[in-house]
Amino acid sequence: MQVDLTAIRIDYARAGLHERDLDPSPLVQLDTWLREAIAAEHPEPTAMTLATVTPDGDPAARVVLLKGLDDRGLVFFTNYESDKGRQLERASRACACFFWVMLERQARVTGVVSKVTREESEAYFRSRPRESQLGAWASRQSVVVSGREAIESSLAEARARFGDGEIPCPPHWGGYRLVPDRVELWQGRPSRLHDRLRYTRVADASWTIERLSP
């Protein structure tokens, strides 16, 4: 049965977003919104779409999970040899986008990405479930495989390799930190006249806040 996609429409009216309510730091404000999404039991509140650029200039986007947020930036972890890892090696700028639909909110964070320290990567890796640790060794992320059986075979090899012992952090796996120079916060409003407020970093490491037309 054909669905009329043009008829699917939600008029957002939950809340407004005013300059006077914002923290001077976008990272503090983003942390506030993230905590509110968690408190609202939003599904996958830390999920963010990470956009990078391929060597051919094509946009590339995928969903990753935020694993750290402080005044230094946003942290996520992945295989350094994956598509996104190779893309970030060539072009170190990226954009992360959160969409908390239950709160009618979106946040876009744009800036420079660099690897976190090896100590940070190893500390986070130790906190992961054992099966996830094994998966990091078993998966050659983004590489074409012959089928699901090849992945299961690699996982079995990893289990045999490490047995019941400690699983070290793979050298090809670790974290990235996105240091923003622009952060846009979006709050849905009626009639598609949404509130859009953008932080832009200035030379003295402070931020300007501007309202954008919806």
Q: What is the CATH number of the domain that holds 52?
A: 2.30.110.10
Catalytic: which of 35, 130, 192, 211? 192
137/119 Cα distance (integer angstroms) = 18
pLDDT single digits (tens) 39-64: 999 999 999 999 999 999 999 999 99
Please check whether residue 164 lies inside any domain of the structure: no
Please check whether residue 143 lies inside any domain of the structure: no
How many domains are contained in the chain?
Answer: 1
Contact 65, 76 (CB under 8 A): yes
* Known catalytic membership, residue 192: yes
Please check whether residue 154 lies inside any domain of the structure: no
pLDDT single digits (tens) 187-204: 999 999 999 999 999 977
Which pTM does this prediction carry? 0.94
Element (H, E) at 199: strand 195-201
Q: Among residues 16, 29, 21, which one has the least CA distance to residue 199? A: 29
